Amino acid sequence: MNICIISNLYPPNILGGAEIIVEKMATNIAKKGHNVTVITTSPDNHEHKQTKDNTKIYYINTTKIYPPYQQTKANALQKPLWHLFDLWNNNTKERIKEIIIEEKCELIHINNFKGLSLSCFKAGRELDIPVIFESHDFSLICPRANLIKGNNTLCNDRKFICNQYVNIQRKLLNDNVDLLISPSNFMIDKYHENNFFEKIACVKIPLGVEYEKVKSDKSYDKINITYIGTLGKHKGVHTLIEAFKMIDNPDIILNIIGRGYDEEEFKQLAQPDSRVIFHGFINNEDIKEYYDAANILVIPSICYDNSPLVIYESFSRSTPVIGSNIGGIPELIQDGFNGYLFEAENPYDLKDKLLKVINNKDKLKILEENAYNSINDESINDMTENIINEYEKILRK
């Protein structure tokens, strides 16, 4: 098959886990003998092309105002204008069509698309080839893509302007998708609640990791509690710091790995507790040693996380996870089996769950064994095969 994979971001230029999983997917599909063309945005405003791991990658330059890689640097005036221009970009559509025709692609697999606009979905219709959309965030039903308000609370009552934005997106998307893929049922249900994808097939395909499954040798002299992810309030890092500081125990440490808007505020919140250590950004290869050293990983999100890749990665290194009982997280964590669930934004409930692992090493070791058994030995291959099966089914139609 000749496959076109579209993603607004692509390694080595990354802002989150979605682009990492897209690269792994593209690489593994190519390894199975298929021709893969990736279309993504240019980080430097210059279009160029390269071949990597038998995958052709086109970096196109059609985004207005600023490229998606610079979204964290954009000011308050630029952002609403960027979203307005990004609703529809005809130049993007025409450039994508040119590449698809040149590479003789039979199918388009769209992932995160902000910066390429909804016009990329129309390219498939105009060329009469099927379009698959794999959703990693809530961009279609929220301008911020995470269903979080500006005050970092869940958005359950959209404002008028946001409703208009969603209505326009729904109209522009129209019937330009043939199949929706999501790693969680939660996201599929959210789309149906908002009148998206009601007449097309929707399938859940869990994510996969390329990390070798390893039963890490853990130390229990000090209990290592670890957070890996974006340092933003919507990720609940403040809830974790508050819960941790409530526990008067010199034999625990909290490792916080990542970067983000609220990093300095979190550092202030952690003071003067020397048990809290900020490591900054760690690249995807070196991060494995932090999973190995961790006794427990914490996902304290207050937003509707879809299916956090860090949970899969943590399980692959026999590290259990404590996570918010929200979004797609409960589809991965079985309370008391491979980790614990707690009420989002509740530091007291999180403190209680942390104490369960800190004070009971035998239970912690059982959680480790169950975490290891919660992910298949070849999860990335399983994910790839499931996606290819969907390709074949939709092409047969």
Cis peptide before 272 (omega within 30 of 0): yes
Backbone angles phi, psi at 52, to 5 degrees: -145, 130
**Per-residue model confidence (pLDDT) at position 64:** 81
For residues 147, 151, 154, 159, the Cα torsion angle rounded to the nearest 10 degrees is: -60
DSSP 11: T
Return the number of other C-beta atoms located less than 10 Å from residue 146's C-beta.
23
DSSP 348: H
**Per-residue model confidence (pLDDT) at position 113:** 94
Instruction: Using CB atoms within 10 Å of the CB of residue 267, give its burial: 0 to 12 exposed, 13 to 18 middle, 19+ buried.
Output: middle
d(CA 337, CA 63): 46
**Per-residue model confidence (pLDDT) at position 62:** 87
**Per-residue model confidence (pLDDT) at position 16:** 77
Tens place of pLDDT per residue across the chain (397 aa): 999 999 999 988 877 788 989 999 999 999 999 999 999 999 887 899 999 988 999 999 988 888 777 776 777 778 888 878 888 999 999 999 999 999 999 999 999 999 999 999 999 999 999 999 999 999 999 988 889 888 888 888 888 888 998 999 999 998 999 999 999 999 999 999 999 999 999 999 999 988 889 999 999 999 999 999 999 999 999 999 999 999 999 999 999 999 988 999 999 999 999 999 999 999 877 899 999 999 999 999 999 999 999 999 999 999 999 999 999 999 999 999 999 999 999 999 999 999 999 999 999 999 999 999 999 999 999 999 999 999 999 999 8
d(CA 347, CA 300): 9
**Per-residue model confidence (pLDDT) at position 37:** 98
End-to-end CA distance of the chain: 15
